[in-house]
Amino acid sequence: MTNPCPTCVRGCCHRHTVGVSGTDVQAIALGLDLAPALFLQAIAEPGVRGFLLSREGPAYQLALAKRPADTFPAPCLFLLELPDGTGRCGIYTLRPLVCQTYPAYTRNGLVGRRDDVLCPTEAWHDDTLTDPVWYERLAHQALAFDLYELVVARWNYHLLQNPPTPPRELADYYTYLTHIYAQLKLICAQVADWNAFCAAWDACLDRGAQPLRAACPELQPWQPTLDAIRSAVATSLPTTLAPQLLAELAQWETGILPLPI
Ligand code: SF4
Ligand code: SF4
């Protein structure tokens, strides 16, 4: 097995914008004792994980900030650039899940190398990606982004439906994330076999089911965990919604209604 990254000059940490989940934000914020505003950027872009700051939009996606630089594209804030043109991740053990899983994807429990990546053509074609850690990271990533989607939906729905709704600041959203992910971390810490939980989650996704919206037999052993997650997110903002709107949100969270944005 060889790791092509130490000698690579293809610049993935310059040329990609690294989208993050709330799980990544929490890991970096706690690991570096750093406020989210100091390492994130909010990019106006629609999508299921786009959060609103006002009812009129736009929706924003969270990504790692870029470092101001003479070069374009600018490097990731955390990239250590070396004189020979290579680089090293300055937060390697805390790097976001999309960085941990690049350039791999998973389907039906198997891991493959994506075609749409910057890696040299010959890279990653040995047995490196068969190491179980790659699947574990990919399954964790799928779960993390599903959780984040629910967290974003709760925020958006609250903002859209809870009058009066003055525009929010980015700092308000970060405070919300910090609060809800502190609770989710405690809930997830109770899961005895984290990799099995993520693998069961991934198996649901592989057959087109969304564990937070539909009952998945694979996740039956973790039903208390799912209930705790839903409950934590559902009570994460002041419940001043009218009763019928609360019912509507519950329907959205179980997949009966389309996304509010
Ligand atoms: S967090 Fe690390 S691996 Fe990810 S883009 Fe930044 S420097 Fe690269
Ligand atoms: S482009 Fe691929 S091989 Fe090069 S540093 Fe990035 S992940 Fe590693």
Tens-binned pLDDT, residue by residue, of the chain (261 aa): 688 999 999 999 999 999 999 999 999 999 999 999 999 999 999 888 999 998 888 999 999 999 987 778 899 999 999 999 899 999 999 999 999 999 999 999 999 999 999 999 999 998 999 999 999 999 999 999 999 999 998 888 888 876 666 788 999 999 999 999 999 999 999 999 999 999 999 999 999 998 988 889 999 999 999 999 988 988 887 655 555 555 666 665 555 555 443
Residue 174 lies in a domain: yes
Q: How far is residue 186's CA from residue 165's CA, in Å, rounded to a whole number?
A: 30
Residue 261 lies in a domain: no
Do 31 and 94 meet the contact criterion of CB atoms below 8 Å apart? Answer: yes
Pocket test for ligand 2, best of 2, 3, 5 (most atoms within 8 A of CB): 5
Pocket test for ligand 1, best of 99, 102, 117 (most atoms within 8 A of CB): 99
Ligand 2 close to Cβ of residue 89 (< 6 A):
no
Question: Rounded to the nearest whole angstrom, what is the distance from the C-alpha of residue 7 to the centroid of ligand 2?
Answer: 9
Record the tokens describing residue 112, joined without a space: 């493959």
Say which amino acid occupies 115: D
pLDDT at residue number 97:
98
Q: How far is residue 55's CA from residue 53's CA, in Å, rounded to a whole number?
A: 7
Residue 258 lies in a domain: no
Give the ligand with the smallest distance to the CA of 12.
Answer: 2
Contacts of 239 (CB under 8 A, 6+ apart): 246
As for how many domains the chain has, the answer is 1
Domain with 91 in it: 5-253
pLDDT at residue number 165:
66
Residue 249 lies in a domain: yes
Record the tokens describing residue 119, joined without a space: 């890696």
Residue 93 lies in a domain: yes
Contacts of 133 (CB under 8 A, 6+ apart): none
| Closest of 226, 163, 159 to residue 191, by C-alpha | 226
pLDDT at residue number 34:
98
Dihedral sign for Cα 80, 38, 99, 133, please: positive
Residue 200 lies in a domain: yes
pLDDT at residue number 1:
64
User: Residue 60 burial by CB count (10 A; 0-12/13-18/19+): exposed, middle or buried?
Assistant: buried
pLDDT at residue number 261:
36
CB atoms within 10 A of CB 253: 18
Residue 99 lies in a domain: yes
